[in-house]
Amino acid sequence: MPRDLHGLVCKQASSRIIRHHALNDVVARVLQSAGTPVTKEPVGLTRQDGKRPDGLTLIPWQGGKPLTWDVTVVSTLAASYLSSSARSAGAAADLAASREEAKYTSLTNSYIFQPIAAESHGASSANALSFLATLGERLTGTFGGLRKVSYLFQRLSVVVQRFNSVLIHESFVSVDEEPDLRPFQLLILASLLPRAKKK
């Protein structure tokens, strides 16, 4: 793997975890803004291996069932996805979404499970696009304004691209001289938080 791409595909890169939490936080906050209370990383859901999804709505989402979701970002250029990525945009994200659905099949009797899979180069899985469009419509119904859906997609895209820059930067630094990137990561997270309204 060329050194300049290593950060985007390496599972040990610390910024991947922070990117994951930042994306999950955006989804959770939008759900709450649309009037749906949520809890992140819920405990007590039925999984034998102890793994848990990223979030759960505290009221029913559809058909009397609450929604649970899991966010994942895959590298468009990873060797395992390269052939499918070459065929169509979003193919890697669709594969990742299918894996997530298989991982959480035990939840589908009591919950609606929604994988939110995106690629490092911007594309998302088909079912994630559908879900986010529905979420944006609910947000529009709560607050009005036809641009809420567009803003939601832009916000998620900005998170992915900003952390891509951090991951690529990490690719060019050797382990011996690796700097402390936490201030840079915190600066990115702070820029993604909603700004307080001036009185």
What mean pLDDT is reported for the chain?
81
Question: What is the DSSP-derived secondary structure letter of residue 21?
Answer: H
Domain boundaries defined on the chain? 3-190
Q: For residue 1, is pLDDT > 50?
A: no
pLDDT of residue 10: 64
End-to-end CA distance of the chain: 52
| pLDDT band, residue 101 (cuts 50/70/90) | very high
Q: For residue 196, is pLDDT > 80?
A: no
β-bridge partners, 114: 69
Sign (positive or negative) of CA dihedral 16, 17, 22, 24: positive
